[in-house]
Structure 1
């Protein structure tokens, strides 16, 4: 007679390990996919923890916060600070080498007419050099003060990309006006006046009292025509362009808003380019028989 063998001990259950770090034991599971996750992979959720992949997947379905006019919400106005730094760096460069910088990059109608297109935009980042007297430092200080004060507000209302489009198109609009009716100019004033116009539009669109902005525009317009040596062309061109772009951005319908806004900005850009490509500057209009 044989004795039956004793029952075998139950097999020890396998210890769960992290799906991303197989060598780490863990008894915590992702609340979405139920995979084991170690402390380094735990992401706190509303209930329990989730793995990094589930968190990333969930973020795709979260709607990004937007401004009142469709841009991505702005906490730090990086576009404004970047523009301000670029203007200051350009001023340092022209102070160290005024001749090459000013004569190579200022807005010059004759040079643009002969193919130096970059001057339409680079001139907006230059300012009157120190050699021109006390007005020089006042020139850049006022423009940078206005950018510092108004830029962040507009950027937070519009979003960084839309604000940048407004700024550059306003600068271009001011340069085109100088091209048509002036000779040469430097300064960010066209872009600054464009910001004035856009701020007025945005304020009205949001239902704010825009009287203060209107007084600011009128006061600067008086200075523009009262003080000699100021390019009224650049100021007026920037103001008109900025106001138009502001209307496009602020009054675009909710439906297809992105298409209307970016399409409208593209139309403004093409219109300004068409003006420069089809019309000669004022300095040649008289020679070619255009009415003065």
Structure 2
């Protein structure tokens, strides 16, 4: 057996997959999981859909963990699939660990925000009856990724990340109107909470670059970066 440098008995190190490929496979696997869950949900009469975020209800807190994985129907999932693939992949370009931490922040913080404000502006068919809503879908996560990508470069001051943010804003900027109320059946509360969580994640995860910039300023007061 020929190994490193042609020496027998020393196995060659396996080639590592490029970071972009690992990130792409990670996001693709997540989207495939969404489709598998929706298939199971459809076959069981959509019994899972009741496990979403039910605002201000203690038993609705568990929905924070499950809501991004559930969709009301195939059309709902299909509408989220392409943005999830595109924005999720762009997120991984900032580093797989940052992608994971940012997703966790958006998932939890955005979910808590939806739990707190999810009933605001909800339309109830009966006067005097408290309206209960159930928020499901990956759109809150997608809005978090979108907001993260738009602002992250301005926190890190890295040119390529700023360019990504500008391109994402140009292509998907109109989607941000989804944080405003007005469309029945659409969780603008989840969109808004996800977007706010995305900005928070971008700020927190840009800490190393911001601290490095402050150190450079401390050593060179005339530096303007």
TM-score normalised per structure 2: 0.71
1:44 aligns with 2:11: no
Change (3 A) 1:100 1:252: same
Any idea what SS the aligned residue of 1:230 has? coil
1:127 and 1:92 map into 2 onto residues whose CA distance is 10
1:75 aligns with 2:25: no
1:107 to 30, 53, 60: 53
1:91 aligns with 2:51: no
2:150 and 2:144 map into 1 onto residues whose CA distance is 10
1:186 aligns with 2:136: yes
2:177 to 222, 245, 258: 222
Tell which has more relative contact order, 1 or 2 (C-alpha 8 A, sep 6+).
2
**1:142 alignment partner in structure 2:** 79
**C-alpha distance after superposition, 1:98-150 (max 9, x if no partner):** 342112x2222254x14x54311201111123xxxxxx60x222211011112
Any idea what SS the aligned residue of 1:109 has? coil
| Contact kept? 1:171, 1:191, Cα under 8 Å | yes
**1:287 alignment partner in structure 2:** none
| Contact kept? 1:189, 1:234, Cα under 8 Å | yes
Change (3 A) 1:200 1:251: farther
**C-alpha distance after superposition, 1:49-83 (max 9, x if no partner):** 26427x67xx9xxxx99xxxxxx944332320121
**1:240 alignment partner in structure 2:** 196
Shift of 1:90: 1.5
| Contact kept? 2:143, 2:194, Cα under 8 Å | yes
1:211 to 143, 166, 190: 166
- Structure 1 unaligned regions, length at least 5: 1-39, 66-71, 130-135, 257-292
2:90 and 2:38 map into 1 onto residues whose CA distance is 25
- Structure 2 unaligned regions, length at least 5: 119-132, 213-225
Structure having the higher helix fraction is 2
Shift of 1:224: 4.5
| Contact kept? 2:152, 2:206, Cα under 8 Å | yes
